[in-house]
Structure 1
Amino acid sequence: MITVGGADAGRKRILFYFQKYPKVVIRGDELMVVAGISDWPRRLRELRVEFGWAILNGKTIKEMAREGEFSINGIDAMSLGPDHYILLGT
């Protein structure tokens, strides 16, 4: 994989993609292509932890759905896997 622009550029591409498709399930392999770097999971964590973006993975969404805390029309939370991600808000 070719890294053009490095980590910061990869993080920006991931964020742009999530902002373009909020409340849409995005798979990890799709994020790898969008980011253009192999270390995309680290950039995703940075967006969540360091920058405060509400990006959840499928495991968290399932747990929230069981507790009655997650509901987005058209998304079956129980069918999501740990490699699925959603940006809740922009």
Structure 2
Amino acid sequence: RYTPPAGHTVGWLAINSGHLDAGGPISAGELAVFEESDRPIDFVAKGDTHFVLGSAVKHPHDLVTGYYSVHTSKAALAQGELEIERIGALLREQGRL
């Protein structure tokens, strides 16, 4: 059982290896995002299981998701993706990628 700190209403769990049950089965390679709540999260490992569990205070703004990133606006997402492209081009030019 995981009891989130006060104010944490967002919870998630990612499994690296093994399986567990958190109201439903979750297996290696899966990411579970729990229903928004401040209640404890109950889970049971089914054998040896390695996982990361997290919780947080809900972000007060709408979020914009990209392929591999999350930003607070479409403009910030576009800027971040352009910077990643720029760095990738530079690394390829240097033979490092």
When normalised by structure 2's length, the TM-score is: 0.23
* Greater per-residue strand proportion: 2
* Greater per-residue helix proportion: 1
Structure with the larger RCO, 1 or 2 (CA within 8 Å, 6+ apart):
1
When normalised by structure 1's length, the TM-score is: 0.24
* Structure with bigger gyration radius: 2
